[in-house]
Amino acid sequence: MADSSTQSTIIGAPPDRVAAVICDFPSYPEWTDAVRRAEVVEEYEDGYASQVRFTIDAGVMADEYVLAYEYAEDLSRIEWHLVEPSKMQKAQRGSYDLVGNPDGTTTVTYTLEVELSVAMLGMFRRKAEKMIMDTALKQLKRRVEASGAAH
């Protein structure tokens, strides 16, 4: 498996609000640039998504794939893996770790490892992973903080 990349950001909201946005898969196209569609294809008994089909178009990379999700009981960790290889990916593993801070903010750590089906030099792959994580964390932060302002 490929090396994983990790990045963190602080979001101005408590962990439960951050987790609620992360777990609301059908609304991803509203706030993530690359996701065209996110469809829950299977749920756990508690209503959380166990499998989600994503259709993405990030310009250089368009793909459709299904991720299987697992959750810590308190939603402090949300992790996923690619169910089966897609057109562009052999494997994908990732996680969000949410840690509540005393000031009411949440530190979100995003870990991602992707093994592409197409050959890509390591330095370009790492740059792509960093870009994906940068964008994902910025968009998550914007969505959570904007939804907090609406309450």
1 pLDDT higher than 60 = no
127 pLDDT higher than 90 = no
- Give percent of the chain with pLDDT exceeding 90: 70
142 pLDDT higher than 70 = yes
Q: CB under 8 Å to 123, separation ≥6 — which residues?
A: none
Q: How many CA atoms lie within 13 A of 49 on its CB side?
A: 23
Phi and psi torsions of 38, nearest 5°: -140, 115
Structural domains in the chain, CATH included, are 5-148 (3.30.530.20)
- 127 or 20: which leads in pLDDT: 20
Task: Please give the helix or strand (H or E) that residue 51 lies within, else none.
Answer: strand 49-57
Question: Could you tell me the two tokens for 149?
Answer: 């302002």
- 122 or 56: which leads in pLDDT: 56
Asked whether 98 and 77 are in contact (CB, 8 A), the reply is yes
Asked whether 86 and 65 are in contact (CB, 8 A), the reply is yes
pLDDT band (50, 70, 90) for residue 149 = low
Rounded CA separation 26/30 (Å): 9
Asked whether 11 and 100 are in contact (CB, 8 A), the reply is no
Q: What is the pLDDT of residue 2?
A: 58
> Residue 43 pairs with which residues in a beta bridge?
49
